[in-house]
Structure formats: C-alpha cells, structure tokens
Amino acid sequence: MGRKPKTTGPRARDPGAFKSVLVRINADGWRALKMLAIENDATLNALAVEAFNDLLKKHGKRQLVENPLLD
C-alpha cells in the first residue's frame, strides 16, 4: 500500500503555488553565503527560506515560508 498524497497546502508542481525572489548582493556576500551553504550541506534556497522565516518571527508573524525543493 502506497503513501497517502498530501492534500493540504501548496505543491511544487501546482502552477503558481510558489513565487520566486530575485536578490542582488555583492560578491563577498555571495561567497560567504555559498560557504555557509556548503558547511551546512544546504542550498542557498534553504538558507533564504530560513532567513525569511526568521524575519517573519522577528516581527511577530507566523513562519509560513516553505521550501518547494523539499516537497
């Protein structure tokens, strides 16, 4: 018997379920983030999701940002 499919929340395959963010940063910041990702065996996307959720938490909001790559 197979696993039950997820029935709530957005799915990475659903059109429009996730939005993209384009960020411009300096070269030193880029290198530091890439190194942090490597050291933590993570992706830059995963680091960004964590940062966005931390920002929401800091301002008393629910942490709703999800990583579509982990779906």
**Taking the model in full, what pTM does it have?**
0.73
Q: Per residue in 40-52, pLDDT tens?
A: 999 999 999 999 9
Cα 25 from chain centre? 17
- What is the reported pLDDT for 69? 76
Classify the phi-psi angles of 6: left when phi > 0, otherwise alpha if psi is within -120 to 50, otherwise beta.
Answer: beta
Compute CA 27 distance to the chain's CA centroid, rounded to the nearest angstrom.
21
